[in-house]
C-alpha cells in the first residue's frame, strides 16, 4: 500500500475533529458541539473525505476508543477500510475461543486471519511489558508499606479494631488494582500480606501485548504496514498535545459565537502546520522546537531617530544562532521597514485589555 492515500483520524477531545495524513500533517479540522462523543464525529469525516476531497481508496486509523462496532459498519457501508486496536477483555475472549494463541505474541509481528475476513495483527512490546511489571511491583511495595504501618498502629493502640484496618487495606488494594492477586490474613492482631502466585501470573500474561484489527486484505497491506500505520498514531497524538497544551493552547477558548470558535480552531491548525515546518527545518541543527522559538524571542525591533532625518525601525543583526535558524527556514530579515499601524494583542495583553473594557 506504501504511500497510497492512508489517512489518520484523531479527534480533539470532544471539541473538534482533526483529520491528518499518514505523516501526521493536519489537512482538516472540524468543530462539534461540546456534548458530542468522539466516536460520533467519525461519520462527518467519512462524508468529508469522499465529498470534499474526492477520495475513495482510504483507510481510517484510530484507537480502540474511536473506531468501534458502529463506526466499522459506517466505514463498510461507504466502502472504506479501518485499522484499530481491541481491548484487553476482547483479547482474552479471542484467546478463550482459540482465535489467538499466547505464543503468537512472542513473534516480532504475528497475524491471524479470522473466519469472518477480519485480520488480527498482534505483538508484545517488551519495553511496555517491563513498564507494567515495574508499575505492578511499585503498587505492591506501596501496599506492603501500608500493611506495615497498620500493624505498627495496631501494636501501639491495643483498643484499635483490626477489621477496620483490614477494610482500609482492602480498599487501598482495590484502588491500586492489585486486589485480585493479593491476600490479607489476620492472626491475632497482626495483618499479613501474601501473594496468589497463580492469580499474579494470570494478571501479567498480557503485559505489553496489543492486538490490532483491520479489514484490509494481505494483498492490500502486509501485517508490517498495518502495524506501522497504527504506530503512526503517535504523530497525531503529538499534534493533539501540541495544539491543545504544548505550544498553541487551543484551550481555554474565550469565545462565545460559533463562527469565532471554528475560526479559532482553524487558526490553531494552521499554526501547527508552521510548527511542523519549523521542526523539520531545524532538525539538522540539533535544537528542539522550544529552544528555537525561545531564541527567536530575543529578536527585537529598534527605532532609530537620526538628527535631521525621519525616524525608522529596523532589526539589529541577529546572533549566529538566530541567523542559522532563519537561514534554515529561508527567511531574510529586512534592513528597515515602516510599521503598518496594525495593533496586535498578545496572550499576556488580552487579560488586561478585557479588564479595562
The pLDDT of residue 241 is 66
d(CA 220, CA 228): 14
The pLDDT of residue 134 is 95
Which stretches in the chain have pLDDT values below 50?
A: 1-15
Strands (E) across the chain are located at: 7-12, 16-21, 26-31, 59-61, 81-85, 110-113, 119-124, 182-187, 190-195, 209-214, 302-304, 312-314
The pLDDT of residue 119 is 94
Other C-beta atoms closer than 10 Å to the C-beta of 215 total 17
Other C-beta atoms closer than 10 Å to the C-beta of 40 total 15
The phi, psi pair for 195, rounded to 5°, reads: -100, 140
Whether this prediction's pTM lies above 0.85 is answered by no
The pLDDT of residue 34 is 64
Instruction: Report residue 47 as a C-alpha cell.
Output: 462524508
Q: How far is CA 231 from the centre of its chain?
A: 11
Q: Which residues pair with 110 in a beta bridge?
A: 122
CA dihedral 171, 175, 180, 182 (to 10 degrees): -60
Contacts of 308 (CB under 8 A, 6+ apart): none
Phi-psi region of 318 (alpha: psi -120 to 50; beta: other; left: phi over 0): beta
d(CA 290, CA 269): 18
Domain layout of the chain by residue ranges: 7-125+208-270, 128-204, 291-356
Strands (E) across 75-198 are located at: 81-85, 110-113, 119-124, 182-187, 190-195
The pLDDT of residue 227 is 92
The pLDDT of residue 10 is 42
The pLDDT of residue 210 is 94
Amino acid at each position: 500500500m506504501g504511500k497510497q492515500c492512508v489517512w489518520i483520524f484523531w479527534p480533539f477531545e470532544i471539541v473538534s475533529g482533526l483529520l491528518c495524513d499518514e505523516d501526521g500533517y493536519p489537512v482538516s479540522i472540524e468543530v462539534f458541539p461540546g456534548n458530542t462523543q468522539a466516536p460520533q464525529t467519525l461519520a462527518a469525516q467519512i462524508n468529508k473525505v469522499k465529498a470534499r476531497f474526492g477520495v475513495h481508496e482510504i483507510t481510517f486509523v484510530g484507537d480502540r476508543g474511536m473506531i468501534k462496532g458502529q463506526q466499522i459498519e459506517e466505514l463498510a457501508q461507504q466502502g472504506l477500510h479501518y485499522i484499530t486496536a481491541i481491548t484487553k477483555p476482547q483479547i482474552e475472549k479471542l484467546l478463550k475461543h482459540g482465535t489467538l494463541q499466547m505464543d503468537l505474541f512472542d513473534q516480532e509481528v504475528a497475524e491471524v486471519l479470522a473466519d469472518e475476513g477480519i485480520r488480527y495483527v498482534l505483538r508484545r512490546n517488551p519495553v511496555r511489558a517491563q513498564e507494567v511489571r515495574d508499575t505492578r511491583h511499585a503498587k505492591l511495595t506501596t501496599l506492603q508499606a501500608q500493611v506495615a504501618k497498620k500493624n505498627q498502629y495496631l501494636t501501639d493502640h491495643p483498643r484499635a479494631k483490626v477489621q477496620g484496618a483490614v477494610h482500609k487495606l482492602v480498599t487501598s488494594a482495590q484502588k491500586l488494582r492489585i486486589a485480585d492477586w493479593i491476600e490479607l490474613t489476620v492472626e491475632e492482631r497482626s495483618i499479613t500480606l501474601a501473594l496468589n502466585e497463580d492469580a499474579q501470573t494470570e494478571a501479567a500474561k498480557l503485559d505489553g501485548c496489543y492486538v490490532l484489527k483491520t479489514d484490509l486484505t494481505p494483498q492490500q497491506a502486509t501485517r508490517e504496514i498495518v502495524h506501522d500505520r497504527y504506530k503512526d498514531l503517535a504523530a497525531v497524538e503529538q499534534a493533539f498535545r501540541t495544539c491543545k497544551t504544548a505550544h498553541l493552547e487551543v484551550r481555554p477558548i474565550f469565545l462565545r459565537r460559533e463562527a469565532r470558535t471554528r475560526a479559532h480552531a482553524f487558526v490553531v491548525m494552521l499554526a501547527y502546520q508552521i510548527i511542523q515546518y519549523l521542526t523539520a527545518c531545524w532538525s539538522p541543527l540539533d535544537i528542539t522546537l522550544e529552544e528555537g522559538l525561545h531564541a527567536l524571542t530575543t529578536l527585537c525591533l529598534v527605532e532609530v531617530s537620526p538628527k535631521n532625518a525621519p525616524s525608522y525601525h529596523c532589526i539589529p543583526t541577529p546572533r549566529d544562532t538566530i541567523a542559522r535558524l532563519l537561514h534554515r527556514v529561508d527567511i531574510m530579515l529586512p534592513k528597515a521597514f515602516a510599521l503598518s499601524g496594525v495593533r496586535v494583542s498578545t496572550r499576556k495583553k488580552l487579560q488586561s485589555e478585557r479588564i479595562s473594557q
